[in-house]
Amino acid sequence: MDSIIVNGGKELSGVIPIAGAKNACLTLMPATLLSEEPLTLTNAPRLSDIKTMTQLLESLGAEVTSMQDGQVQAMSCHGAINHVAEYDIVRKMRASNLVLGPLLAREGQAVVSLPGGCAIGARPMDIHTNGLEAMGATIELKDGYLHAKAPMGGLKGAVIDFPFASVGATENIMMAATLAKGTTVINNAAREPEIVDLADCLRKMGAQIEGDGSPSITIQGVDRLHGATHPVVTDRIELGTYMLAPAIAGGEVELLGGRINLIEAFCEKLDAAGISVTETERGLKVARKNGRLSAVDVVTEPFPGFPTDLQAQMMALLCTADGTSVLEEKIFENRFMHAPELIRMGANIEVNGGTATVHGVNRLKGAPVMATDLRASVSLILAGLAAEGETRVSRVYHLDRGYEQVVRKFSGVGAQIERIKDE
């Protein structure tokens, strides 16, 4: 198992290229199951989760070729399809459930293990299955697997009202609806950029989709989809994470490929905290305005609100801000597991249910800490950039699921950081 060692106190300067979005790519890859023709994704991130999705698709009968050092994923699903997504693969990653809709739409049946991923609270599949059942599917849970069957003649269009704006359920139903008979309307749909990116890709494949990016999406089913080539949208969570690096450590960094419209609510909080974000021809430039940062309150919300996947990183920033900040986590329960680790570094944090109160301190101190999930991992690295002395972050295997070449990107702008093998 690896650890990352960070020696803090170094101002940062330079450029960091931002990868394609992990969450977008993991959604786009299962779309290959909807067509017999090839689907090619460019600007793909080089992450362990992408490898896991590749394994899953290959187990279902797809051919996947990784090119250009993993930045191009060429997929084809023209042969026989296996409709069983096995536990041994699905348990590794939550996004594995996104094969359910495509398999049901194309094959008329699917057997999919309940998914795994980071332990950040319950993320039930009911909203997915209820939507598919509204389209005529019958779904039964047996021995940890969802056994789903479409009616004779395939899935049928339906009006589906989500109880909350679920990203995964919106994606699953969108893909299933592309090959359903008739019109499907998703109300209270998720509005994230990854949803829009999926819709753009599906339209290139011949799908008829309107309203993506709004709370109501309409899909008119077609008989078949064809192949396409599609670039994966910029990863807004990686973007926001690296924007915080110069904000925490000092200095100025340019994020290549960054766009404010991907994380506008996040940028508004940075501005209020005393951080300058300016657009350039190549992306975004970030630096402190002057002096000590100011405390700000944060409430996580579905897009276009403040992203839950940037809450841990924002907490690291606010640990040394002037004043008291309150962070409310309204998307996932159990997502403050990084707080005790930050406290080990000298932070003053009180957690009460879904609310964390952060009283800013003058400086953090390096300490041995343990990563508990993907975003917590990088929040501890960010904290280490500003801390006195050495911070050792253990259990960093989580990082490989969501951040490519993290040590290279941080060290490329002047951070003293290295990854070591634990004895």
Question: What single DSSP character describes residue 104?
Answer: H
Helix, coil or strand: residue 216: strand
Strand order across the beta sheet in which 138-142 lies: 84-85, 109-113, 145-149, 138-142
Q: How is residue 359 written in tokens? A: 């009283």
Strand order across the beta sheet in which 72-76 lies: 63-67, 72-76, 39-42, 228-231
Match 């992990």 to its residue by tokens: 22
Calpha distance 201→207 (Å, rounded): 9
Mark the binding-site residues for UDP-N-acetyl-alpha-D-glucosamine, compressed into ranges: 94, 309, 331
201 is catalytic: no
Calpha distance 247→293 (Å, rounded): 8
Catalytic residue among 25, 77, 118, 267: 118
Helix, coil or strand: residue 79: coil
Helix 311-318 / helix 236-249 crossing angle, nearest 10 deg: 10
* Contact in structure between 147 and 85 (CB atoms under 8 Å): no
Mark the binding-site residues for phosphoenolpyruvate, compressed into ranges: 22-23
Q: Which of 81, 83, 117, 94 lies closest to 27, judged by CA?
A: 94
H or E segment at 334? none
Mark the binding-site residues, compressed into ranges: 22-23, 94, 309, 331
| Catalytic residue IDs | 118
